[in-house]
Structure 1
Amino acid sequence: MKKIILSLAVVATVLTACKENKKDKVQVNEEVKVEAKVADTFENNVDVAASEITWLGSKPTGTHNGVISLKEGSLVVENGTLTAGSFEIDMTSITVLDIPADAKGNADLKGHLSSPDFFDVAAFPTSKFVITSVEDKGDKLHVTGNLTLKETTKSITIPAVISTEGNVTTFKSDTFSVDRTDFGITYKSKKIDAALKDKFINDLMEISFTVKTKA
């Protein structure tokens, strides 16, 4: 009986994780080509200390979550309207929050996420998100941009809001999911190896951006 209850609990965890992730999964398209001079000449006006990216990964036995810092970034706002932006992500700063910082498991997970199995930060110390277009949908902006992870760049569209208080503008996305295999991250993906059974790691990663400009 205990085994049956445990099995049902695992199945429920998997179904819940899949349902939650699929609802917010963003469509991945081919990279939108932009002129280098447009993407690279924004003023670096982002307060990296006040900005962060959250992440969450899941598997049948549970989830892990944490944050990643920005290395630099820009937001271009004209007459209260977001028109452009570029965020360089410091992959070496990846942090695990759900395991005590002084626990061995924390260092082990951070090391594994930093390894070639996942983000290979030695070879790819930065990632990037470059806004290519913004569409105002009333309550939310639909922000399209090129997301680069490792050597792969794909175009995604995410819901977000922008607000300004004093001299500080905040860009905040909804939590969204991307399929890591679209970016060549295939470690323990059931899509790649069906023989993993319940030993897989979900392909969908949850991400959110909170980016603040300097005062």
Structure 2
Amino acid sequence: MKKIVLSTAVVFALSLASCNNTTQPQEGQAEASAEQLTTETGVSGTFNIEPTSVVEWKGSKPTGSHNGTIALKSGSFTLENGKVSGEFVLDMNSITVTDLTEDKGKLDLEAHLKGTGEADKADHFFNVGQYPTGTFKLTAFDGTNVTGDLTLKGKTKTISFPATLTVTDSSVTLESKPFEINRVDYGVNYNSGSVFGDLKDRLINDEVELVVKVSAKK
């Protein structure tokens, strides 16, 4: 089995700034640039995501934080002519809070994030009734950073984040370092200090931390 790992050794301090291109080949693995990815290994084709693929999230405010997951509904990587691309669908109805139990408000927070509780709160966060899915279109990988277009609530922004991409004859995995997006870019404005004034202890930070973990097989 041929295997190649492309990754970054840069310590990522929760920013989307560009990093220097570094690779860390493991023992028995070949080193290659993004352009050499398929030509060096001879791997090509479409790799469909596994059900375990997930995006981990963490939202914070001055008084604390919450974290959870969003499942990927569908998607695939395509390797062709030395390039890697991909399109992925996020199931926004799968938003889960993992740091709370039901007796501590887990279900209430999940409903608030989804907008499935009280009608006047439907658009506070992700409004899954109107926007049941999000998408990410992977457009480039330079050996260090993934770049692509993230769409949430009908709004699209190009983002970049450091990640490790591992390719074998039969699988592709992508795991990111922690990185941040600004929720206001996607119309998620509830209790944002950059949108509303004098929120005091009701303030929720605009930045949401994400970690992407995607596995795919032929």
- Taking structure 1 as the reference length, the TM-score comes to 0.74
Question: What corresponds to 1:170 in structure 2?
Answer: 173
Q: Deviations over 1:121-153 (max 9, x none)?
A: 0000000000122212xxxx2111000010100
Cα distance in 2, alignment partners of residues 165 and 190 from structure 1? 45
Cα distance in 1, alignment partners of residues 146 and 167 from structure 2? 17
Cα distance in 2, alignment partners of residues 73 and 82 from structure 1? 17
1:168 CA displacement: 2.5
Which one of the candidate residues 133, 149, 163 is aligned to 1:126?
133
Give secondary structure in 1 for the equivalent of 2:204: coil
Q: Deviations over 1:150-182 (max 9, x none)?
A: 010000111111113572221111111011111
Question: What corresponds to 1:37 in structure 2?
Answer: none
Question: What corresponds to 1:90 in structure 2?
Answer: 91
- Where structure 1 has 5 or more consecutive residues not aligned to the other structure, the ranges are 1-21, 28-41
Question: What corresponds to 2:36 in structure 1?
Answer: none
Give secondary structure in 2 for the equivalent of 1:112: helix
**Within 5 A, what are the aligned runs for 1:11-26?**
23-26=13-16
Cα distance in 2, alignment partners of residues 197 and 52 from structure 1? 33
Cα distance in 1, alignment partners of residues 96 and 175 from structure 2? 20
Is 2:74 the counterpart of 1:72?
yes
Percent of aligned positions with the same letter in both sequences?
40
Cα distance in 1, alignment partners of residues 170 and 100 from structure 2? 36
Cα distance in 2, alignment partners of residues 76 and 67 from structure 1? 25
RMSD over equivalenced CA pairs, Å: 2.1
Pairs aligned (count): 173
1:82 CA displacement: 5.5
Give secondary structure in 2 for the equivalent of 1:195: coil
Matching residue's letter, 2:108? D
Question: What corresponds to 2:27 in structure 1?
Answer: none
Matching residue's letter, 2:217? K
- Where structure 2 has 5 or more consecutive residues not aligned to the other structure, the ranges are 1-11, 18-44, 116-122
